[in-house]
Structure 1
Amino acid sequence: MERGSFLKRRGDFAQDSSQKSAKKNNGDAPGGKKMSFAEKMMAKMGHVQGQGLGKEGSGIINPISVQLRPTGVGLGAVKEKTAQAKAEERRAAERRGEVYEDSEEEERQARKRRAKIKKDAGISSGTSTPGGSARVKQKYAVQDLENSGVHVPQGLKEILDATGKETKLLTSTVGLMRSGDVPTNANTKIAERARRDLEAYAEGFNALNEEEFTIQAQETQIQRELDILQSDLLRRDEVITACKELEGEDQWDIVISKLETLCIEHPTEVQSSEVVVAAIHPLFRKEMSDWDPLQDVLEPIAAYIRRVVPHLDADSQSAQVAKAQSGLLHAFAPAKSRKKQTSAYESLIYLYWLPKVRSAIVNDSEFTQHPFHLTSLLETWQPIIPKFVYRNIIDTVVKKLSAIVQQWNARKALKHRNAESLVDDLIPWLPLLPPDQADPTSASGLLSDAKRKFRALLDTADLDRGARVNLEKFRPLVGTRLYDRMLVNHLLPRLASVLKTEFEVNPAEQDLQPLKQVLAYTPRFKLEVMGELISAHFFPKFLSTLHLWLTSDGVDLSEVGAWYQWWREQLAQFNDLSVVSNKWDKALEMINAALDLGDRAKTDLPFPQAEPDPSMPGTPQPSTEMPKEAQSAQKPVEELTFKDIVEAFCAEEDLLMIPMREAHDATGLPLHRITASATGRGGVVVYMKGDVLYAQNKKEKSVWEPVGLEDGLVRRAEGK
């Protein structure tokens, strides 16, 4: 048995070795060369040896080589681009069908072209460095010099040899000017010196000619610049004369007309804000000195300024150059040293116009009585005032309106019958509000706060007083879709609760006040929605009372019929709706069945089939064909808890109720902090037990005392 197991293991070893050899062979290169780990991984990913990287083989073939620079040698001492990089660039160019051009090859060709030009001109490319040939000077012929206008002295034309016994002529000037033509019996040194003097004389003459040409070109350029400056001076003199004519003018129309003419005739010199502002500054300052923004819009003055506004942003050419230079310096200046500068016109509006308007908005106690006048003022001046000034005014208005919204209280507004004052204060400013303040769906903002106030009105307002409020005026504040949804989610459940808990059908002594309270809100909803509300909460009680009457002793069916008809008249506005007419038909069928049964109606008259109670678990959902608003009318009415009442009170008083995630030591009830601080600190710590609110004593932390939802709690939350 041991030998068999040994043979079995030996067979396993043989199988493993064969598998290893197979794997080894599969991992080798086609030529039998053993592949490295990296080559194996590349081969698994589809790479073919000899081709470039990438799906299409467009990448590099060989690894990136490094060109080392000797220690201490700067840039440019050696060629930075390696041969491998050049080969890759050449291969990439061939793939694109282009001809590869090497920058070094271009430089080499340029050197050849320069050498050829020097060679054709007779100038050697050598230098005075060792191993290089000396620069060959240009040869001059006397006849050529005389023909070009150079006067050659007679002493250089003929050279006499007076070193011997007899004075003799060495050679002619023609021979002297050509190297190698000096006679063998002449004094070589004298001939060479004469030739060099003549060459220097010729080169000096050529240099003077070139200098004369340069001076003439410079003279022409300077004269042209002088002509331009003279023309600019003439135009500036005209501008100065025209500007002096504006001094002392106190009529807006005359000043603006002259400025327009000046800007049109001299656009280059006058199109700057300094000239225009200097002309209108005295008049504008005079207008602003006794101006009341709440009484006058100053539309004529705005119209005058609007005529010259196009000339305020254009600068002269010199100003543009200065601005470009200052912009370049500004780009390299430290961040702390950069300062934003206002133009002359922006400073004019900022110093005179802005304080007047801002003071009228901030300090005027009758701000809400002039909304349309102020909005007209901003609409008139918005196109001609700087953007930062307009934003400053709008921010001031938003702060003022936010304070009005925060101070508005739904209960107090209903009590004083001015619940619509919030709408009257905000509506005129809606077109001017920035997007972040005009979105009621955002987490913060002016209209977002107004939406919360409207929601508090729907949740807590007395229904009798609320029926007298024109809720439709709140629609522009929150938007049509959000307005309808808030009515359905907050007001409709309260109406359903009234019908369900306060209204009873009693033929003997009928109290219609709860029903009238609900029907007073019919104009606020679609008729179908109110019909569903009546069907869901009125008819179950009506049919139950009708069945009880029909099965009682001594029932008078004529009285029942008159009672039935009276109720139809009370709800006549809903009788045409199918959901209501069907319930009337059921009531009529019950009366007819009682007539047919006679005395047996007491025992055999079937009880009306109960409608599904939406508040019971497992109740089928309303039909999908029913409007969403109508479905909301049949949703269960959530009973208000004492915590909901406290939260509503805090919302009305602009207080925060924050859970502390701690429990009261004695009762184990959760603690909350009620505070007026936006940071969530300070205020008073409370807990709720039943319908009583207990607050912690500020001095003795272990003492808890009951408090009411009144001004005392508000003062403690504010830290007073």
Structure 2
Amino acid sequence: MSHFSLHRMNGKGDTGSDSDSDHRVKRRKPNPALNGTPKASPAGNPNSFAARMMAKMGHVEGQGLGASGKGRLAPIDVQLRPQGAGLGAVKEKTKQAKEEEKREASFRGEVLEDSEEEEKKRRRKLKEKRVSGISGAGTTPARPTTKYRTATEIEAAADGLKVPNVLKSIIDATTSEMKLLNGAAGLMKSYSTMVPSETEAEKIARRARRDLEAFAEEWETLSERKKYLELQESQMAAEIVEEDDEARKIEEVISAVKDLQGLSLESSDADSLTAVWEEIAAKLELIQLAYEDEVESLPLQEIAVAAIHPLFKKAMVDWRPLQEPRYLVPYLDRLSQILGIKPPSTSTDLTLGNEVPYTKPPSKSTTTYETMLYTLWLPPVRSAITNDWDPYDPSPLLALITSWQPILPAFILTSLIDNHIVHRLTTALQAWSPHRTSRKNRSTSSNQIPPHTYIFAWLPYLPPYQTSPTSNHGLLHSLRQKLKSVLSTYPIEKPPPTGLTAWQPILTSSLTHILTRHLLPRLSSHLSANLVIDPSDQDLSPLTQVLAWTIPLFSPETTAHLLVAELFPKWHQTLHLWLTSGPNYEEIGQWFQWWKEQIPEEVRCHPVTEAEWTRGLETITLALDLGPEHVATQLPPPPASSSLPAAATAPLKPPAEAIPPKNKEPVDLLPETTFRDVVEDWCAAQSLLFLPLREADPSSGMPLFRITASASGRGGAVVFLRGDVVWARGKGEGKGFAPVGLDEGLVGRAEGR
């Protein structure tokens, strides 16, 4: 044993320096990237521990991991980089990993494409294969051999060229052998195999071959030029035919124009002129139908205008536009196409990029038809508007404009409206003075005609800048200025001018602003200065005059606020004065109800005025509660302005001096009797209970009580007290409160009858 131990210590069992060196050698592992032989994975060995454990868990050799066998098929392979190499030196993804990715993609029904680098590599290999198939690596491709045509081929290519037979029987000097050619085979072959010495015959043959090629090229050039000249000749012949047709059409038009010149215009009879117009219109229509397709090429518009110009000029001399609005319109309408009249619906609006609207500017030059109308038609119409037309009667001029608008140029109509029609309308509007009557004829004075009766008819014909309610120029701007002037000076005592409400759809908010700024302050001042509340002799004319303005022109809310500011302060003062000077409450009640009837219902029922009526009723109730002994001294006066919210909603209370101070000796005064005390005494006399319910009515906010004959305090009637009236709830759900009297009816309801 000792020998064995010693042997171990002296040999492999030595723990000296040799053992340390052997240990370092064992720890060194070969680099697979250097020798190219990676170590086999132990999982690939079917007898390894990992393989046996996987077989026990149901894994089958050749299938992937998982119950479905779609998992990884091979162990993860590690791609090692050479020692000292950084990232990117080698491809990090191994071939095995790429195959696994493609296999997983196939299970998902996808096709995994190669990376960009692999695709470039694959294309590079395909290109190298194609290049290697054409020529060997490093060799230059052979130059293509030049092919020459034979004499027979030259003769066949040059149509019409005849090659003499003597040129076809020439010596072929392109080969090492000299032979006589009877045919044209091999005429134009390469000279690379020509014999070094060239005889005179061979030189002649070569020159003849060059001359033959030059003749063939020249022949082809001349043939192409011949074809071009033939084509040019045919085109010129077609143009000559077209020119002849056009000349024939012009001659026909000249002949038709000469027929028009033969018409006589000497007669001044209306029937004769009508016949001439019919004849001219019929002949121009024939020209229009005959040359409908040549309207752009032939001067048909100038011909038509020249034909009708003398007749049109003669007709305009005696024409009365306002009496004959449709004069000559049917004839011009018939000739609208040949005269170049565009329909009014023709729009010049275009669309640029991103749907930006753009209006094409009008042409700076006029047509012959437009010039004729501007020089012959416009002067008599302008004179009729200035001298004969009554702006308060728009129908004659409207008939004229409506009749001529389809055949009238747009610039003429615009000039006529802006410079003449609107000017006359503005002049009539400035003369409008509804509060001033004419001394000669007070009933039919023109300055009292409402503007809407003659301006409304022109609104569809006016341009937008004339009818804009917010524009600072135009007809409606003049109307707004005139309304401000009229409303600032019109007497309030007179009825309002008729037609003011008709402008509401046109002026919209502008009219409301004008009425509020220029009329409402004057109505308020008139009501404040002229209305006197006098129960003995009441004069309602100031109120009636103000309501005649406010009801049609203002909203009920505006009217209600106006009455609260100017009427109710005086009304409350008169009521307080009446209550404190020996009142008759029956007369006060009638007076109270009469005043409510004088206010229109939509204003009377407004919450603002309802608060004033409620305040007046509370004043009367407080005066009843105070009694005749204390009402004169303890009834609080009304506030200086009832328009304040607190004054309109706060309940009236007895003055502070009516409550005796605590530091003074109590005064032997009789207790104040209220209406609740009266009701309680009546209930006690009828053997009924009067019980507070400790809740309020949701609609009125008054505290609720129960009047019942039951000792348990149930049943009976639910009531509340307002003023000196008992309000009882109706029977059944959803019934409101109604006033009842202290009589047998209330007793029956308390007893459940």
TM-score, normalisation: structure 2: 0.50
Out of 230, 234, 253, the position equivalent to 2:244 is 230
- Secondary structure of residue in 1 paired with 2:455: helix
Match of 2:335 in 1: 308
Q: Distance between the aligned counterparts of 1:277 and 1:283, measured in 2?
A: 10
1:385 aligns with 2:408: yes
How do 1:578-597 residues align onto structure 2 when only pairs under 5 Å count?
578-579=606-607, 580=609, 583-584=612-613, 586-587=615-616, 590-591=619-620, 594=623
Q: Is the 8 A contact 2:333 2:407 kept in 1?
A: yes
Match of 2:234 in 1: 220
Match of 1:547 in 2: 576
Describe the shift of the 1:506–1:527 C-alpha distance in structure 2 as closer, same or farther (beyond 3 A): same
Deviation at 1:495, TM superposition (A): 1.6
1:288 aligns with 2:312: no
Out of 369, 377, 380, the position equivalent to 1:345 is 369
Describe the shift of the 1:620–1:459 C-alpha distance in structure 2 as closer, same or farther (beyond 3 A): farther
String of CA shifts for 1:375-415, please: whole Å, max 9, x gaps.
Answer: 33223322222222122112213344344445656775799
Describe the shift of the 1:259–1:582 C-alpha distance in structure 2 as closer, same or farther (beyond 3 A): same
Match of 1:431 in 2: 460
Q: Distance between the aligned counterparts of 1:209 and 1:304, measured in 2?
A: 62
Q: Distance between the aligned counterparts of 1:506 and 1:565, measured in 2?
A: 15
Describe the shift of the 1:151–1:423 C-alpha distance in structure 2 as closer, same or farther (beyond 3 A): closer
- Secondary structure of residue in 2 paired with 1:600: helix
Match of 1:449 in 2: 478
Query: Residue type of the partner of 2:322?
Result: L
Match of 2:80 in 1: none
Q: Distance between the aligned counterparts of 1:606 and 1:188, measured in 2?
A: 155
Query: Residue type of the partner of 2:328?
Result: I
- Secondary structure of residue in 1 paired with 2:321: coil
Query: Residue type of the partner of 1:304?
Result: Y
Describe the shift of the 1:340–1:529 C-alpha distance in structure 2 as closer, same or farther (beyond 3 A): closer
Runs of 5+ consecutive residues of structure 2 not aligned to the other structure: 1-143, 171-179, 264-274, 343-362, 650-753
Query: Residue type of the partner of 1:378?
Result: I
Deviation at 1:191, TM superposition (A): 7.0
Deviation at 1:437, TM superposition (A): 1.7
String of CA shifts for 1:445-466, please: whole Å, max 9, x gaps.
Answer: 321221122122222322123x
Percent sequence identity over matched residues? Answer: 35
Which structure has the highest helix share of the two? 1
Q: Which moved more, 1:243-252 or 1:380-389?
A: 243-252
- Secondary structure of residue in 2 paired with 1:229: helix
Q: Is the 8 A contact 1:440 1:448 kept in 2?
A: yes
Query: Residue type of the partner of 1:497?
Result: S
Match of 1:519 in 2: 547
Q: Which moved more, 1:431-440 or 1:236-245?
A: 236-245
Q: Distance between the aligned counterparts of 1:352 and 1:543, measured in 2?
A: 75
1:355 aligns with 2:355: no
Match of 1:495 in 2: 523
- Secondary structure of residue in 1 paired with 2:319: coil
Describe the shift of the 1:496–1:543 C-alpha distance in structure 2 as closer, same or farther (beyond 3 A): same
* CA root-mean-square deviation: 4.9
Q: Distance between the aligned counterparts of 1:355 and 1:530, measured in 2?
A: 53
Deviation at 1:214, TM superposition (A): 3.0
Out of 511, 514, 528, the position equivalent to 1:483 is 511
Q: Distance between the aligned counterparts of 1:141 and 1:405, measured in 2?
A: 104
Q: Distance between the aligned counterparts of 1:388 and 1:230, measured in 2?
A: 41
Describe the shift of the 1:491–1:194 C-alpha distance in structure 2 as closer, same or farther (beyond 3 A): closer
Deviation at 1:290, TM superposition (A): 1.8
String of CA shifts for 1:449-496, please: whole Å, max 9, x gaps.
Answer: 21122122222322123x241143551685244323432343223222
Describe the shift of the 1:120–1:482 C-alpha distance in structure 2 as closer, same or farther (beyond 3 A): farther
Runs of 5+ consecutive residues of structure 1 not aligned to the other structure: 1-118, 124-137, 160-170, 316-338, 624-720
Deviation at 1:548, TM superposition (A): 1.0
Higher Cα Rg, which structure? 2
Describe the shift of the 1:242–1:591 C-alpha distance in structure 2 as closer, same or farther (beyond 3 A): same
Describe the shift of the 1:519–1:492 C-alpha distance in structure 2 as closer, same or farther (beyond 3 A): same
Query: Residue type of the partner of 1:280?
Result: I
Deviation at 1:313, TM superposition (A): 4.2
Q: Is the 8 A contact 2:288 2:338 kept in 1?
A: yes
- Secondary structure of residue in 1 paired with 2:500: helix
Query: Residue type of the partner of 2:335?
Result: V
Q: Distance between the aligned counterparts of 2:521 and 2:501, measured in 1?
A: 21
Match of 1:374 in 2: 397
How do 1:88-237 residues align onto structure 2 when only pairs under 5 Å count?
144=155, 186=200, 205-237=219-251
Q: Is the 8 A contact 2:336 2:407 kept in 1?
A: yes
- Secondary structure of residue in 2 paired with 1:457: helix
Q: Distance between the aligned counterparts of 2:504 and 2:262, measured in 1?
A: 52
1:610 aligns with 2:639: yes
1:395 aligns with 2:418: yes
Q: Which moved more, 1:278-287 or 1:577-586?
A: 577-586
Describe the shift of the 1:144–1:534 C-alpha distance in structure 2 as closer, same or farther (beyond 3 A): closer
- Secondary structure of residue in 2 paired with 1:455: helix
> Which of structures 1 and 2 has the larger relative contact order (alpha carbons within 8 angstroms, sep 6+)?
1
Match of 2:738 in 1: none
Deviation at 1:439, TM superposition (A): 1.3
Out of 248, 251, 270, the position equivalent to 2:295 is 270
Describe the shift of the 1:453–1:494 C-alpha distance in structure 2 as closer, same or farther (beyond 3 A): same
- Alignment length, in residue pairs? 456
Match of 1:577 in 2: 605
Deviation at 1:600, TM superposition (A): 1.4
Q: Distance between the aligned counterparts of 1:207 and 1:575, measured in 2?
A: 107
Describe the shift of the 1:604–1:234 C-alpha distance in structure 2 as closer, same or farther (beyond 3 A): same
Q: Distance between the aligned counterparts of 1:341 and 1:446, measured in 2?
A: 30
Deviation at 1:569, TM superposition (A): 5.0
Q: Is the 8 A contact 1:543 1:587 kept in 2?
A: yes
1:533 aligns with 2:562: yes
Deviation at 1:601, TM superposition (A): 4.9
Describe the shift of the 1:566–1:187 C-alpha distance in structure 2 as closer, same or farther (beyond 3 A): closer
Deviation at 1:498, TM superposition (A): 2.0
Query: Residue type of the partner of 1:386?
Result: P
